[in-house]
Amino acid sequence: MDSLLQTTEGTVNGVAPSISFEGPEVDDNPGGLAPPDPNIAVGPNHIVASVNVVTEIYDKSGNSLVGPFPLNDLWSGFGGPCENDNDGYPIALYDPFNNRFVLTQFAVSTGQHLCVAVSTSADPTGSYYLYAFDFVDFPDYPKFGITSDALLVSVRNFGASLDMQAAAMDYPAMRMGDPSTLIVHSITDLLGDVDGFLPINADSSINTVGGISVGDTPGNFVGFEQGPDRLELLQLDPDFDTPGNSTLTAVNSLSVAPFDPSFCGGLFPGCIDQPSTTNDLDALSYFMMHRAATRLIDGDLHMVVNHTVDVDGTDRAGIRWYELASTGAGGNWEVVQSGTFSPDTNDRWMGSASFNGRGDILIGYSVSGEDPDDTTPPDIRYAAQIRGTPSGLLNVSETTILEGPGVQTNPSRWGDYTAMVPDPSDPSAGWYINQYIPIDSAFNWRTRIAKISLPGDSVFNDRFED
């Protein structure tokens, strides 16, 4: 039994989404494909939603402004694979310090490339600076994070074997449309056989000054390891003028309560139960889940991350989450609280965690189960913690964003990730996107986008030193 297991609901009533609307869906694509990889970026006035393999831009009332359009349309006239290939694994991020949007996907049909677009203004419907970065091998499952002086990337680089890599792009140059250097270091060479690391992503309100740079962090990549169970923090320090001076170092190893990421006896078996079908869904429990959200709260740097664990040895999936803090300038990361959320017999997985502007924690995820007393097709739900709650408890009760109408009969892939992000102009709110199935069917996913406003004061709690 997981020693951190929370088996009861929070005592604060959850709040239904104040806004909820349909996002991109499988029928927006030229052909059926799965999984959707749903994620969003939220700015002061816009929402950008990306899935495999289209993007749509909305206002914050949910009205579509542009799209859905194939993401490689942004590279029209650019030439090369980023224009010609629309291969997916999209990531959309909002940069609150410079009021820009960053949209990415990979192009691997001809060569191995990551395609990155940086908006030239605060308007994501406008123009973009466009980039194509070459990799030696297949850059699988790319995850991006924004800091003030680098765009950080992790990839599961497939050549002769898996090489987990940490990379950095010259983000200040990219915001100007100037050439950018790509710096790549091997996490595998540093730590051995590892997987699923994430770069940090710096969040903020629209009113803060300054930013979080790679030099401010005591570790800008995070993952989990076993034997003993721990979080590993790595520091990538890129030198874009002299790339050979760049370094990747292991800076901290944090002991955590024991956890079990294995399901059904293997790394990636379908093991998440659904009612009325023999098709079980993948837990993706060996990855830290998108994003590693960081924020300054009361003057200190905080991070929230999550991954999926077997909570009781019976292949019941729950959400293991951690809040880390770095006290003082450059102080080491420490785990200040952690918990495992599984209040009933259903599976909970595919989580995404974020702070809102007050420093509350919101976690969105999928829920499914085939218990005879509680048959649940995959739902979209969230739970939360109001700042100041006793450590390790999600005290805002689990709330349904969308009750799953159907089950996925094929394939077993689900996700592969979702996104909870803060609203940079509303300190109480987070926005979440996840997939669901409208009727029992295969390759027939939809997405839902929702705004979650927690009760409490509407005051930002982040502060930056000049």
Give domain status of residue 250, yes or no.
Answer: yes
Return the ∠ at Cα 159 (arms to 162 and 180), rounded to 5°. 95
- DSSP track, 74-126: GGTTT-SHHHH------EEEEETTTTEEEEEEEE-SSS-EEEEEEESSS-TTS
Give domain status of residue 204, yes or no.
Answer: yes
| Residue 271 tokens, joined | 């093991």
Q: Are 41 and 94 in contact (CB under 8 A)?
A: yes
Give the per-residue pLDDT at 208.
54
Which pLDDT band, with edges at 50, 70 and 90, does 461 fall under? Answer: confident
Q: Is the pLDDT of residue 8 over 50?
A: yes
Q: Is the pLDDT of residue 372 over 80?
A: no
Range of the domain at 406: 5-453
Look over the chain and give the mean of its residue pLDDT values, rounded to a whole number.
94
Which pLDDT band, with edges at 50, 70 and 90, does 465 fall under? Answer: very low
Least confident of 154-163, 216-225, 326-335, 417-426: 326-335
Give the per-residue pLDDT at 464.
44
Q: Are 131 and 144 in contact (CB under 8 A)?
A: no
Q: Determine the average pLDDT of the residues in 123-132.
A: 99
Q: Are 282 and 268 in contact (CB under 8 A)?
A: yes
Residue 406 backbone phi and psi in degrees, to 5:
-135, 175
* Of 296, 329, 290, 323, the residue nearest 415 (C-alpha): 290
Indicate the helix (H) or strand (E) that contains 174: helix 171-175
Q: Is the pLDDT of residue 210 over 70?
A: no
Least confident of 373-382, 404-413, 429-438: 373-382
Give the per-residue pLDDT at 37.
98
Angstrom distance (rounded) from CA 364 to CA 353: 7
Which pLDDT band, with edges at 50, 70 and 90, does 466 fall under? Answer: very low
Q: What is the pLDDT of residues 296-312, one digit of tens each?
A: 888 888 999 999 999 99
Give domain status of residue 446, yes or no.
Answer: yes
Question: Which residue would you say has higher pLDDT here, 208 or 354?
Answer: 354
Give domain status of residue 465, yes or no.
Answer: no
Least confident of 221-230, 260-269, 408-417: 260-269
| Residue 419 tokens, joined | 């996104």
Reduced to 3 states (helix: H, G, I; strand: E, B; else coil), residue 228 is coil
Give the per-residue pLDDT at 215.
64
> How many CB atoms are located within 10 Å of the residue 126 CB?
11
Q: Is the pLDDT of residue 115 over 80?
A: yes
Q: Determine the average pLDDT of the residues in 14-25.
A: 98
Angstrom distance (rounded) from CA 117 to CA 112: 17
| Residue 337 tokens, joined | 């609280």
| Residue 254 tokens, joined | 């944090």
- Contacts for 363 with CB less than 8 Å, ≥ 6 apart: 306, 319, 321, 341, 351, 352, 353, 382, 383, 384, 394, 420
Beta bridge partners of 54: 51, 70
Give domain status of residue 460, yes or no.
Answer: no
Give the per-residue pLDDT at 347.
97
Q: Determine the average pLDDT of the residues in 330-356.
A: 95
Give the per-residue pLDDT at 329.
62
Question: Which residue would you say has higher pLDDT here, 218 or 282?
Answer: 282
Least confident of 97-101, 164-168, 182-186, 204-208: 204-208
Q: Is the pLDDT of residue 212 over 80?
A: no
- Contacts for 199 with CB less than 8 Å, ≥ 6 apart: 143, 144, 145, 152, 153, 154, 166, 220, 221, 292
How many structural domains does the chain have?
1
* Of 137, 12, 38, 117, the residue nearest 74 (C-alpha): 117
Angstrom distance (rounded) from CA 443 to CA 43: 31
Q: Is the pLDDT of residue 272 over 70?
A: yes
Give domain status of residue 191, yes or no.
Answer: yes
What CATH code is carried by the domain that includes residue 27?
A: 2.130.10.10
Which pLDDT band, with edges at 50, 70 and 90, does 206 fall under? Answer: low
* Of 91, 27, 19, the residue nearest 59 (C-alpha): 19
Give domain status of residue 463, yes or no.
Answer: no
Give domain status of residue 403, yes or no.
Answer: yes
Q: What is the pLDDT of residues 45-69, one digit of tens each?
A: 999 999 999 999 999 999 999 999 9
Angstrom distance (rounded) from CA 234 to CA 152: 12
Residue 174 backbone phi and psi in degrees, to 5:
-65, -35
Give the per-residue pLDDT at 205.
63
Angstrom distance (rounded) from CA 258 to CA 267: 18
Give the per-residue pLDDT at 458.
74
